[in-house]
Amino acid sequence: MQLDVVTLFPDWFDWFRDQRHVANALRGGHELRTLNPRDHTTLSGGQVDDTPFGGGAGMVLRVDVMDAALRSFYDTDPVELRSQRRVIALTPGGRVLDDAYVDELAAEPAITLLCGRYEGFDERIVQHFCSDTLSIGRYVLAGGELAAMVVADAVLRKLPGSLGHADSAVEESFSAALGGNPEYPHYTRPAEYRGWRVPDVLLSGHHEEIRNWRRARSDERGASSGGSPLP
Ligand code: 6GU
């Protein structure tokens, strides 16, 4: 997978690149590149945004600057680009990210994430250059960078080789393997702590019973939507 992020803050991704599962994925042949529109603007002072027509607060990323940045990076008219790869505008009002959407993206050979800043994008960027709009939830972040890292994290960890164990991403919360339900509870040593015992079945060595118990706990958690109830 080639994952490109268009951002005014490419440095933010240096830290992200060094995280283990990301580093593993990159060593395995996947790519995470950044593109800074500021490097491609022809406007004076490195200008990339402007005040909104019609008035109002904040600044809006300019369509001409985004056009120039994408065109130079991909050597393609950005209008054509979205038929060659997913080009995704990160915006709080977009399609909300969930496990199925992550799977969809993980199956793509190449993705470009556009990070908005300030009040966001000139709508013509979304209309003419993008295949999707994506949101990580119904709240507003100051910019798309953290959302891009959330998407990249969720997608890259699905790719073979990025996690330590091949099964780690199969039977996990919200996966098809668990019928879309949250994951079952986990326990490790000690088997008893302050009188709190690990469920006997997990110590029994009966793999079939363990599988059934886990599936039942996962189903329970799924039935109580909004997360597992805590006492
Ligand atoms: Cl993708 N961007 C911004 N700025 N805020 C968000 C978001 C994205 N998803 C949820 N809130």
Mention every residue, 6+ apart, whose C-beta is less than 8 A from residue 133: 88, 89, 90, 91, 93, 94, 95, 126
Token code pair at residue 51: 């005040």
| Ligand 1 site, residue 141, Cβ cutoff 6 A | yes
CATH topology of domain 176-223: Trp Operon Repressor; Chain A (1.10.1270)
Pick from 141, 146, 155 the residue to mutate for probing ligand 1's pocket: most ligand atoms within 8 Å of its CB. Answer: 141
Instruction: Report residue 125's pLDDT band, with 50, 70 and 90 as the boundaries.
Output: very high
Does the structural domain 2-156 have CATH classification 3.40.1280.10?
yes
Q: What angle do CA 143, 146, 151 make, to 5 degrees?
A: 120
- Give yes or no for a contact between 227 and 182, defined as CB atoms under 8 angstroms apart: yes
Record the pTM: 0.91
Cα-to-centroid distance, 90 and ligand 1 (Å): 6
Domain map (residue ranges) of the chain: 2-156, 176-223
ipTM above threshold 0.95: yes
Q: What is the DSSP string of 104-128?
A: HHHT-SEEEEEEPBTTEE-HHHHHH
Residue-wise pLDDT for 133-187, tens only, equals: 999 999 999 999 999 999 999 999 999 877 666 556 777 888 888 888 889 999 9
Residue-wise pLDDT for 61-119, tens only, equals: 999 999 999 999 999 999 999 999 999 999 999 999 999 999 999 999 999 999 987 67
Computed over every residue of the chain, the mean pLDDT equals: 92
Per residue in 54-63, is it b (16+ CB within 10 Å) or e — as a string? eeeeeebbbb
Question: What atom in ligand 1 is closest to the CA of residue 97?
Answer: 9
